[in-house]
Amino acid sequence: MEQKLLQKESIELHDLFQKKDEAVFVRAVGGMGKTTMLEMYTQKWAKRQLGLNFPLNFIFFFSCREINQMYGSIKSIEDLFKRKYPDIFNKMALKDLEPVADKVLLVVDGLDELQDVYECSQKKPNKNGSLTPFQIVFDLINTQGHILKGHKSIACGRPKACDFLKKKISDLKASNRKVIKIKTVEVCGFKEEDVEKYIHKFFNGNIEKISRVKEIIRSSHNLKVMSTVPVFAWVICNVYSEDLITKPLNTCTELYMYACLVFLRKHLQGVCEKGYDNLLEMLKDGNVIECIYSLMTLSVKTYMQNQVLFSEDEVRQLKCPVHLEQTGLIVKYNRGEMREPIYQYKHLVLQEFLTGLYLCVTKGISSYLTNRELSSCAPVIFGIRRLLRENEFFIKFFQRLSNLHTTKLTIFRRISQPYRTWVFNKYLTRNTLEIPDCMIGSNSLCIDTSIPECQEFMTSLYEGRLKIECPFSTVRIESDLRGVDLRNAVFLVNHLNLKLKIPEIMMDTDCLIIDTTIPECNRWAKFLMESKSMIVDLPFTKAYFECRNVDLDLACFLTKYLNLTLRIPNTMYGNDALFVHTNDYECIDFIEIVHTVKPKVECPFSKVEVSSNYNAESLIRGLQVFLKHLNLELKVPNCMIGPDAMIINTDLPECRRHLKAAHDLHLKPVYPVSSIKIQSDVTRPKDIEHIEYIIDSLNLVLKVPHCMISTESMIINTDIESCRGLINFIYYSKLPVECIHSTAEVQGRLSKDEPIKVSTFLEMMNLQLKI
C-alpha cells in the first residue's frame, strides 16, 4: 500500500521517517536538495538531534554513485557493507544485525544516477558472480527481502526513477509475503526566506553581490520562481555574481547556457593565457568552443546510456585542448584498490543541457528516438529552439558550435546530414502536437505534476513556447503546484486558453461551497489566484466558506475575483436577528472577509446581537465595518424594555452584552423611550463606563426608581438593590438625575462605604437630608 505526503508546507525533518513507516521514497525534480536533506537527516541522527519517537540504532547511507563505482566487484550485500563500512563489518557480520533489523535504517540516494537503472532490472548477475547495481539497490530498499528482513529504508531520486523502483517494490505481492507500506515524500525546494539565506551564505557577506543578485531576482518573476529550486539558486548566484549578464533570464535553458560559460570563464582563467572581460569574447576563442563541444559529445554518449560515470580513456578520446576536469563542470573520483580515476558531471541538470545542445547542433537524434532518456532532454531541445528565434547571443553561440561540428564531419556524414535534419525536425513536429496520455481526462485536460510525463511535458511547453493542439477547452488541477511547476501550469492554461473546471465537491444545491481544507478545493482556489484564469461558467452567484481558519487572502481573492454574493454562516442565524459569535471560527472569518472585500452579502436580518467575548482591536474594527456594510442595527434585548424607561440590569448577560457592544463598537441603538432606569447594583467599572456611553451618546435621561419616590421626599434605602445601584452609579459617574424633590430621607442601616456614597449622591442631586 502507498501513502502520499504532499503538504502545503515542508514537513519537519524528524517526520521524514515515522514509527509506522517501512519504506519511504523521497522524490523531486533535479536540484531540489534531496541529497542535502538526507545528509542532514543522518547527521542530526548521529548527534541525537532528531527527536524520533521510535528506536533507531543504526543508519547506513549509500549513494548510487558509490554503487556504480563498485560495479563488477560486489558479489553479495555483505561485500557492499564491508566495502563501505570496513571498520564495522570487518569485526562483525551483517547477520549479527538481524535480531535488531527493525531498528536499522538503510538510506539509498540518487536512484536516477544508478547505472542502467531501467535495463539492469532485467539482467542477471555477471558471469563472475557480481551483482548488478540494480540488484544491490533493490535489496537495500526491499524491507521484506532476504537482507535484514524487517529493516527500514529510505530511497531518494528523481520522480521517474523513484516511480520505477517503487513499482518494482510494490509488485512483490506473493501470498506468503507481507505487503510493504510505502510512503512518498515530495521535496519542494526553498521558501522565499530560504532563498535570501542562501544568497547571503553563498556570497559570504559580500554586500555588493548580495544586493545585486537579490535585486535581479526581485525584478524578474521567472528568476524568483526558479530560485526556489536550490540548484537554480546556485546557478543564479554564479551567473549573476559579476556584471557579465544584466538582463533577467526567462527560461532554464538560458540559465544553463550562461552557467556553462560562467563556469568555464572562472575555471579557465588559470589555464588559458588570456582572460575574458565579457562572455562575447569567449565565443571568439576556439579553445572555449572546443571545450563545450567536447563536453557535449561526452554528455550525449553517457547520458543516453544512463551512464553516470566515465573513464580517463573516454575523456582522452575527445582530444579536448583542456582537460575536462579543468572546466569546472566535471568532477573526479578515484575508484577501486588501484585508485582508478573516474569522472562525473558536477550536476545532472548540466549534463541534460549539454546533451540537448548536442542533439540540436548535430541533429543526431535518430539513434535515440526509442531511448527513455530522450524525454528528459525534450525541455532543453524545445528551449533551444525558442532561443534560436529570440536570443542574439545564443544564436552566435549556437552558430560557433555548428561551424565546429561541420569541420568534424566525415564525407559520408556530410552527405547524410540532410536526412538527420529531416528526422530531427520530424521529432520536433511530432512532439509539439502530442499531449501525454496521462493528461487526457474524460472531458478535460488534467494537470498532475506527480506524474513525471506531465511534469516534463509542461516544462517542454514553457521552455519552447510551442503551438499545440488540445482536444479540450477546460482543465482540472489534480496535484499541489508550487514554484516552477506552478509557473509552467499557469503558462499552459493561458497558452491554450483553457478554462478552469470547478471541482464537483464545491457544488451545493444553490451555492458554491469553498472549503480550503479539502485538497481539490484548495488546489483549485490557489491556482485560480495565481493564474487569474478564466473559469467555466459559475452555476451560482452565491458562495459559502466552510472551514476552520480559512486562508483569508485566498477567500478575499475568490470573493472579489468571482464577484460572489456571500451567504451568512448558519451559526450566525438567530431567531429574529443576526448573532455574532466572536468565539466561532466561521463567524470571525466571515466578518474578516466582509471587512476586507466589502462584498455583496445575502442577509435576511436588519438587526444584530454581538457576543461579549472579544477584545482585539482588529476584531472590533472588523465588526464596525461589517455592521456598517450590512446596515445592521444593534438589537435591544427584551429584558431592557420597560413601560416608561429602558431598564439597566447588569446582572443579566443580555443587558451587559448589549451595553458592551454599543460602547466598544461606537453604536447608537434605537430605543423606544428616552430615559433609563438602573435596577441592579452597578459596581464594575466597565459596566459604569458602558452605561455612561449610552446616556451620553443617546442623550438619555436617568430616572429615579419608583422605590425611591414618595410624596414629600426621596427615599434612600440601600437594602433595595435598584436604590443601591443608582447611588453607586451616581457616585462613580457623577451624572445628574432627574428628581422632583429637594429633600431625601434615609431608611435602614448604611454599611461599609455606603455613608460616603450617599453623601456624594445627596450633593450631586442637591438634596437636603430630612431629619
757 in any annotated domain: no
- DSSP string for residues in 271-316: TSSS--SSHHHHHT-HHHHHHHHHHHHHHHHHHTTT---EEHHHHH
Are 267 and 393 members of one domain?
A: yes
Length of the chain: 771
Q: Is 500 within 8 Å of 493 (Cβ atoms)?
A: yes
Angle in degrees, 0-180, between the axes of helices 374-390 and 252-268, rounded to the nearest 10:
90
pLDDT of residue 616: 65
Do 390 and 461 lie in one domain? The reply is no
- Asked, for residue 192, whether it belongs to a domain, the answer is no
- At residue 433, the pLDDT reads 57
Asked whether 109 and 59 are in contact (CB, 8 A), the reply is: no
Cβ-based neighbours of 506, under 8 Å, separated by 6 or more = 512, 513, 514, 515, 520, 521, 524
- The amino acid sitting at 634 is L
Helix H segments across 144-227?
Answer: 159-170, 192-202, 207-218, 221-226
Same domain, 465 and 395: no
Q: Are residues 401 and 513 in the same domain?
A: no
Cell of 442: 474524460
Same domain, 509 and 564: yes
pLDDT at 445 (0 to 100): 92
Question: How high is the pLDDT of residue 547?
Answer: 67
Final residue in a domain of this structure, among 154, 186, 218: 186
Same domain, 306 and 380: yes
Together in a domain, 297 and 282: yes
Write down the pLDDT at residue 246: 66
Sign of CA dihedral 511, 512, 515, 520: positive
> Is there a single domain that holds both residue 398 and residue 545?
no
Residues of the chain with confidence (pLDDT) below 70: 1-10, 119-128, 172-179, 246-248, 269-274, 306, 335-338, 431-433, 547-548, 612-616, 618
Q: What would the grid cell of residue 13 be?
A: 525533518
- Residue 460 in any domain: the answer is yes
Of 578, 609, 635, which residue constitutes the final position of a domain? 635
Which CATH number goes with the domain that contains 111?
A: 3.40.50
Backbone dihedral angles phi then psi of residue 652, each to the nearest 5 degrees? -95, 125
* Separation between Cα atoms, residue 508 and residue 206, nearest integer Å: 57
**Domain membership flag for residue 396:** yes
What is the residue range of 23's domain?
A: 13-186
What residues contact residue 112 under an 8 Å CB cut-off, 6+ apart? 30, 64, 157, 158, 160, 161, 162, 348
pLDDT for 7? 42
Same domain assignment for residues 492 and 535: no
Place of cell 476586507: 596
At 2 the pLDDT is 42
Q: Residue 135 domain-assigned?
A: yes
Please give the DSSP secondary-structure letter assigned to residue 365: -
DSSP codes joined into one string, 402-446: HHHHHHT--HHHHHHHHHHHHHHHHHHHHHHH---GGGB-SSSEE
What dihedral do alpha carbons 325, 330, 336, 337 form, nearest 10°?
20
In a domain, 221, yes or no: no
End-to-end CA gap in the chain: 94
Which of 119, 68, 113 is closest to 372 using CA atoms?
Answer: 119
What is the predicted pLDDT for the residue at 309? 74
pLDDT tens, position by position, 165-200: 888 887 765 444 566 788 888 888 888 888 999 999
- Asked if residue 192 lies in contact with residue 230, where contact means CB atoms within 8 angstroms, the answer is no
Tell how many helices (H) and how many strands (E) occur in the chain. 28, 25
Q: Do residues 467 and 176 make contact, with C-beta atoms less than 8 angstroms apart?
A: no
Query: Per the structure block, which three cell numbers stand in for 543?
Result: 458562495
User: CB–CB of 161/27 below 8 Å?
Assistant: no
Residue 380 counted as domain residue:
yes
Q: What is the pLDDT of residue 447?
A: 92
Domain identity same for 444 and 507: no
Are 278 and 393 in the same domain?
A: yes
Q: Residue 208 falls within a domain, yes or no?
A: no
Please report the pLDDT score of residue 358 as a whole number.
Answer: 92
Do β-strands 578-580 and 310-311 pair in parallel, antiparallel, or remain unpaired? unpaired
Strands (E), 550-668: 565-567, 578-580, 600-602, 607-610, 633-634, 646-648
Q: Are residues 68 and 92 in the same domain?
A: yes
Q: Give me the pLDDT at residue 123, please.
A: 54
Number of domains in the chain: 4
Of the candidates 470, 497, 524, which is a domain's last residue?
497
And the C-alpha cell for 456?
A: 516534463
Q: What is the pLDDT of residue 336?
A: 57
Query: What's the whole-model pTM score?
Result: 0.67
pLDDT of residue 1: 38
